[in-house]
Amino acid sequence: MVLADLGRKINSALADLTKAPVIDEKVLDAVLKDICGALLMSDVNIMLVGKLRNNVKKAVNVPDLGGGVNKKRIIEKAVMDELYNLVDPGAEPYKPVKRKANIFMMVGLQGAGKTTTCTKLASYYQRKGWKTALVCADTFRAGAFDQLKQNATKAKIPYYGSYTETDPVAIALEGVEKFKADKFDIIIVDTSGRHKQETELFEEMKQISAAVEPDSTIFVMDGTIGQAAEAQAKAFKEAANFGSIIMTKMDGHAKGGGAISAVAATQSPIVFIGTGEHLHDLDRFEPKPFIRKMLGMGDMRDLAETVQDMGLNSNKNLMENIKQGQYSLRDMYEQFQQISKMGPLSKIMGAIPGMPADMLAGSEEEGSKRIKRMMCIMDSMTDMELDSDGTPFQDHRSRIIRVARGSGTSVHEVEEILSQYQRFSSMVKTMGGKNGLMNNLPTDP
Ligand code: GDP
């Protein structure tokens, strides 16, 4: 079961609480059974699922709730808290320090996405203003250096490696020393990733680690490996004592349960997730927003950061409006216009709270078509309507009919856009204002 399905299943189980005339032990058990079943199908470790179930039951204790208390809210909160706990080991990941060379060492199995992730990570920090560099200490895999070189060149990140030197420890050390001398802030060392059975791999990791003394060792793990995640993470934890995890390939068909189990098995936090093959496809991971997003609640920090990272905030008027908590249909139109220019669409749309899953369904191309259709409908609105907050449509259904006719679509589709707009608009109101998120954008990771 992929993450979005898991979120939907949990949501629908929780919705059963609303449907039940009386919430008793039996109803709670049925809800928990559905939630636990969904978690198991997503490859979350059975012990963790059992623990979640017991903790929720303990936290809620239905007979004690008595009448009058909003049982549904209490149960929902207990479930959410336990879901957060699943992905939050309570350990703080390493935060790079200014005016010092921060050394990151990446470890993980071959094919996990290590080399790709090294460049994504370097680029992420570069976009945040850090001076980053890459070192390729993978002398085992033919072509590893070429791959890193290619990625790094594309991302305009300085790199170090060798076609002739066969000692990975020597290369790692030379590279790190060189970039340290050149006053780089973040130096990312890519290591080899042969099969975990090979004791030499672990030995090599230890030697590189002893030589470069990383501030942070990051375990890069394939998010699609399901149940095997736990054992693999444990083996790497013992050998390399990594401090944090990057879970790759969380786009597509990753179930995500493996990731959750890996966190619990190693008590190490996930710091980023890889969401595609491209440079920008790396999202910062934080437990609460992750769970909220999985449950379709969206995450405004993500949106704010995506808007900032992708330069979507280049439209001054729009940003000013948002800051003031104002948002018209035209603002939404202009956002769509920018989004379709900038891509990747799915990343931006995925970060927008309240965006229904069906808007994101299908390929990038289908998503773009959907956005274009929405814009085409809005093209049939008058200036007055576009500059409004949707009120003109509330009292005059004839306007909706006119727009539907004008754009060759249906009344239902126009209504759909208007309700979408209402959701965006209330979100923007929360983001704007003096204490709003848009006025407090995160500057550092
Ligand atoms: P390494 O052997 O661990 O260095 O793995 P690579 O960086 O060579 O990646 C292996 C494959 O996984 C490549 O085809 C990458 O493009 C792909 N890959 C890496 N990260 C992601 C991701 O987050 N999503 C997807 N879909 N593919 C990824």
Q: Are 305 and 442 in contact (CB under 8 A)?
A: yes
Kindly report the average pLDDT of the chain as a whole number.
82
Q: From the CA of 274, give the closest atom in ligand 1.
A: 23
Supply the residue whose CA is at minimum distance from atom 19 of ligand 1.
113
DSSP 270-287: EEEEE-SSSTT-EEE--H
Q: Tokens at residue 302, please? A: 């993500």
- Position 63 confidence tier, pLDDT thresholds 50, 70, 90: confident
As a whole-number percent, the residues of the chain with pLDDT over 90 amount to 37
Q: Which of 293-302, 324-333, 429-438 has the highest mean pLDDT?
A: 324-333
pTM for the full model? 0.70
Residue 435: the pLDDT is 47
ipTM: 0.98
Residue 154 is predicted with a pLDDT of 92
Local confidence band at 439 (pLDDT 50, 70, 90 cut-offs)? very low
**12-39: average pLDDT:** 88
| Distance of CA 258 from the midpoint of ligand 1 (Å) | 17
Calculate how far, in angstroms, residue 274's C-alpha sits from the geometric centre of ligand 1: 9
Q: What region does 296 belong to: left with phi over 0, alpha with psi -120 to 50, or beta? A: left
pLDDT confidence band for 443 (50 / 70 / 90): very low
Q: Is the pLDDT of residue 105 over 90?
A: yes
Cβ 281 under 6 angstroms from ligand 1: yes
What pLDDT was estimated at residue 445?
40
Specify the pLDDT at position 421. 85
Per-residue model confidence (pLDDT) at position 95:
92
State residue 166's pLDDT score. 86
Q: Best substitution site from 3, 110, 116, 149 to test ligand 1's pocket, by max atoms within 8 Å of Cβ?
A: 116
Work out the pLDDT band at 401, boundaries 50, 70, 90: very high
Ligand 1 contact via 276 beta carbon (within 6 Å):
yes
* Percentage above 70 pLDDT, the chain: 80
Residue 92 corresponds to which tokens in the numbers above?
């703080």
Is 70 exceeded by the pLDDT of residue 316?
no
pLDDT at 290 over 90: no
Q: Please give the full DSSP string across 237-260, using - where no structure is assigned.
A: HHHH--SEEEEE--STT--SHHHH
Taking the C-alpha atoms of residue 121 and residue 399, their distance in angstroms, rounded to an integer, is: 49
Please answer whether residues 74 and 58 qualify as being in contact, where contact means their C-beta atoms are separated by less than 8 angstroms.
no
Q: Is the pLDDT of residue 444 over 50?
A: no
Which pLDDT score, from 0 to 100, does residue 309 have?
Answer: 55
Q: Is 275 in the pocket of ligand 1 (CB under 6 A)?
A: yes
Task: Confirm or reject CATH 3.40.50.300 for domain 102-294, answering yes or no.
Answer: yes
List the domain boundaries for the chain: 3-87, 102-294, 300-439
- Please calculate the CA angle 418-320-384 and round it to the nearest 5 degrees: 40
**DSSP letter at 158?**
-
What number does the ligand 1 atom closest to the CA of 282 have? 23
The predicted pLDDT at position 442 comes to 42
Give residue-wise pLDDT tens across range 248-260: 998 767 777 888 8
If residue 26 lies in a helix (H) or strand (E), which one and from where to where?
A: helix 25-41
Atom of ligand 1 nearest to the CA of 190: 4
d(CA 213, CA 224): 30
Cβ of 193 less than 6 Å from ligand 1: yes
Which one is predicted more confidently, 163 or 395? 163
CB proximity list for 130: less than 8 A, separation 6 or greater: 96, 185, 186
Q: Is the CB of 274 under 6 A from ligand 1?
A: yes
How far apart are alpha carbons 104 and 117 in whole angstroms? Answer: 12
User: Does residue 188 surpass a pLDDT of 50?
Assistant: yes
Question: Higher-confidence residue: 346 or 262?
Answer: 262
CATH topology of domain 3-87: Four Helix Bundle (Hemerythrin (Met), subunit A) (1.20.120)
Is the pLDDT at 382 greater than 70? The verdict is yes
pLDDT-derived band at 16 (thresholds 50, 70, 90) equals confident
The best mutation among 147, 277, 280 to test binding of ligand 1, ranked by most ligand atoms within 8 Å of the C-beta, falls on 277
Give me ligand 1 centre to Cα 15, in Å.
37
Does 289 or 416 have the greater pLDDT score?
416
What number does the ligand 1 atom closest to the CA of 281 have?
23
| Cα(266)–Cα(237) distance, integer angstroms | 7
Max mean pLDDT among 82-86, 289-293, 336-340 falls in: 82-86
143 lines ligand 1 (CB under 6 A): no
The pLDDT of residue 422 is: 84
User: pLDDT at residue 241 above 60?
Assistant: yes
pLDDT surpasses 70 at 54? yes
Domain at 300-439: CATH code = 1.10.260.30
Does residue 318 surpass a pLDDT of 90? no
**Strand ranges, E, within 384-439:** none
Does 119 contact ligand 1 (Cβ within 6 A)? no
- Residue 388 burial (CB count, 10 A): 16
Write out the DSSP string of 117-141. HHHHHHHHHHHTT--EEEEEE--SS
The ligand 1 atom at the shortest distance from the C-alpha of residue 273 is 23
CA 224: distance to chain centroid?
15
Q: Which atom of ligand 1 is nearest to the CA of 112?
A: 3
Lowest mean pLDDT among 48-62, 66-80, 152-166, 230-244: 66-80
Give residue 385's pLDDT band: very low, low, confident or very high (50, 70, 90). very high
The tally of CA atoms less than 13 A away on the side-chain side of residue 136 is: 28
Ligand 1: residue of 119, 134, 248 to mutate (most ligand atoms within 8 A of CB) is 248
pLDDT score recorded for residue 62: 78
Chain segment 328-379, per-residue pLDDT in tens: 888 778 777 766 665 555 555 555 544 544 455 555 666 677 778 888 899 9
CA of 116 to the centre of ligand 1 (A): 6
Point out which residues pair with 107 in neighbouring strands. 219
